[in-house]
Amino acid sequence: MKIDKIMKINIQFLSIGAGIFLLGCIETRILVPEAPFPIADDSFVIDTVATGFTIPYGIAIVGEEEYFITDRIGKMFHLNGNTITEVTGLPAVVTFGVPGLPAILHGGLMDISLHPDYASNGWIYISYLDHDGFAKVSRLTLENHTIDRLETIFVTRDQNYTGNGMRIAWQDEFHFFLNIGNSDFSTSTNPIMHAQDLNHDAGKIHRLREDGSVPIDNPVFDGSTSPTSIWSYGHRDVQGLFYERSSDTLFGLEHGPKGGDEFNVIEKGGNYGWPLFSFGINYDGASVSTISEDSASVFTVFPEHTWTVPTRSGGQALAPSCLLKVSGSTISDWNGCFVFGSLAYRRMMKYDPNSGETVALDIPGRVRTIKQLPGGDILALVERDDLRLENGKIIKIRHLTE
C-alpha cells in the first residue's frame, strides 16, 4: 500500500479525545505523530478494498467480499465484490463539530451489526444519535438497497450529545450489548454524574434482547425492584466493545480524559468509577477524581490495564476507538492479542494481555473499526486524511507470503 508523504503545514492543533480542534487555519492532512510505543516488526500486507468514505464507522460482514458499512455523516453502503451501492431511507442523524470545519466530534451514524440469524430474518441493526438528540438503536431490512422495514427498538431516556461509542456486540442469538458514551468534561470541582446515575442511560453498557426489550436476568440495582437495560455503569466513553463467546467475557476499551484510557473486563452490575475516580486528568491539567484510589478500590471495578503516554503537561491519551481480539489469523504474531485504533496517534496498536505489552503497528491513520473476516484476514476502517475530501477507506490486512 502506498502512503502519501505529508507536507509539513504551519499549524497548531490540539487533540481532544476522539476529535481535533484546529487553531488558526484548516488542516488538510491528518498528521501522523511519532508512535508512543515501539513499532512491531510483524509481517503483513495492506490492500485497499474501497475508498470514498468520510468517516467509515461500522462494518457488518456478510461474507469474505460482502459487507455493510456506515459512514458517520449519516450514510450506509453495501459493498459486494467490486460493487458499492448506497442504501436509502435511513433515519436522520445529527452531528456536532467545529463551526466552519468539516470535522465531527460527537454524534452521527455509528455502529452496524447483523442479527446472528441474518440469513433467515434479514435484520440489520444500527446505532446513532437521532436528529432529536436521543441515542437510538434501530433494526431494519432492505429491499433493493432501500429500507423497507425500520423498527426503533431502543431510545435513551435523556438526550445524549456527548456519547460517541454506541458499539453493538452480540452475546448470542437473542441478546446484545450496547455502550452509550458520556464524555463530559468532568472535574473534581464540577463533577458531572450522569455515568453514576442509574436513571440516566449515558455512561453505561446496556444488555438488550433482540427486539430491544430488557432481559429478565439483567442486574437489579439497589433501589430497584426489577432489572433495567443497564449491565454496567460508571463508564466515560467506551468505544471498543468485544464479546468473546469461548470464555463468555465482555471486554471494553474506554476513553479516559487526558490519559487514563482503560482496558476493562466488564462484569455484570459493575461500577467502573467515572467520574468519581480516573487514572487520567482533565484536559486543562486539573484533577478529575473526587475520591482517592483506596476509596475507589472498595466499590468500583479497576481496569485490567491503563494507558497514559507521558508528556511535559502530565500525560496524553491514546484515544482508543475500537477493539478486536484476534484468533485464527494468518498473522501469527496477532493471535491471542487485542488490536485497536489510536485516534490521538493516528495508527493501529496491539496489546498482549498476557505480557501487558503494547506496541504500535505500521498501519497509519485514524482507524475507527477493526473486524476479522471468516477466513482470518483483518478489515480496518480508516477515517479520511484530508478534511476537505471524502477519502476515508477500508483496508484489508493479511499475511505476507514470500
3-state per-residue secondary structure call for 183-251: CCCCCCCCCCCHHHCCCCCCCEEEEEECCCCCCCCCCCCCCCCCCCCEEEECCCEEEEEEEECCCCEEE
Cβ atoms of 209 and 154 closer than 8 Å: no
pLDDT of residue 91: 94
Band the pLDDT of 19: cuts 50, 70, 90.
very low
pLDDT of residue 99: 63
pLDDT of residue 13: 30
Band the pLDDT of 400: cuts 50, 70, 90.
confident
Cβ atoms of 289 and 326 closer than 8 Å: no
pLDDT of residue 29: 81
Helix (H) or strand (E) holding 292: none
Cβ atoms of 385 and 391 closer than 8 Å: yes
Which residues are 84's β-sheet partners?
79
Band the pLDDT of 389: cuts 50, 70, 90.
confident
Strands 261-266, 204-209: pairing kind: unpaired
Dihedral angle, C-alpha 357, 288, 271, 293, nearest 10 °: 70
pLDDT of residue 102: 63
pLDDT of residue 124: 98
In this prediction, residues 325-350 reach a mean pLDDT of 96
Kindly report the backbone phi and psi dihedral angles of residue 281, in degrees, each rounded to the nearest multiple of 5, phi listed first.
-120, 170
pLDDT of residue 7: 27
pLDDT of residue 184: 74
Close Cβ partners of 165 (under 8 Å, ≥ 6 residues apart): 110, 179, 180, 181, 237, 238, 239, 241
Query: Whole-angstrom distance between the N-terminal and C-terminal Cα of the chain?
Result: 16
pLDDT of residue 14: 33
CATH class label, 12-399: mainly beta
Lowest mean pLDDT, pick from 87-101, 112-126, 133-147: 87-101
pLDDT at 152 over 50: yes
Percentage of residues in the chain with pLDDT exceeding 90? Answer: 77
Kindly report, residue by residue over 215-260, the tens digit of the pLDDT.
999 999 998 999 999 999 999 999 999 999 999 999 999 999 999 9
Percentage of residues in the chain with pLDDT exceeding 70? Answer: 91
Kindly report, residue by residue over 163-205, the tens digit of the pLDDT.
778 999 999 999 999 999 987 778 888 888 999 999 999 999 9
In this prediction, residues 261-283 reach a mean pLDDT of 95
Instruction: Give the chain's length.
Output: 402
Of 36, 35, 27, 34, nearest to 8 (Cα)? 27
Kindly report, residue by residue over 36-56, the tens digit of the pLDDT.
999 999 999 999 999 999 999
pLDDT of residue 12: 30
395, amino acid identity: I
**Domain ranges, ordered by start, for the chain:** 12-399
The rounded distance, in Å, linking the Cα atoms of 95 and 129 is 8
pLDDT at 2 over 80: no
Q: What rounded mean pLDDT belongs to the chain?
A: 90
pLDDT at 8 over 90: no
Which residues are 83's β-sheet partners?
80
Close Cβ partners of 374 (under 8 Å, ≥ 6 residues apart): 61, 63, 64
pLDDT of residue 161: 80
Lowest mean pLDDT, pick from 5-19, 88-102, 105-119, 185-199: 5-19
The rounded distance, in Å, linking the Cα atoms of 341 and 358 is 12
In this prediction, residues 294-308 reach a mean pLDDT of 97
pLDDT of residue 287: 87
pLDDT of residue 28: 66
Claim: this prediction has a pTM higher than 0.85: yes
Q: Which residue has the higher pLDDT, 212 or 97?
A: 212
In this prediction, residues 109-116 reach a mean pLDDT of 98
Lowest mean pLDDT, pick from 113-127, 131-145, 206-220, 277-291: 277-291
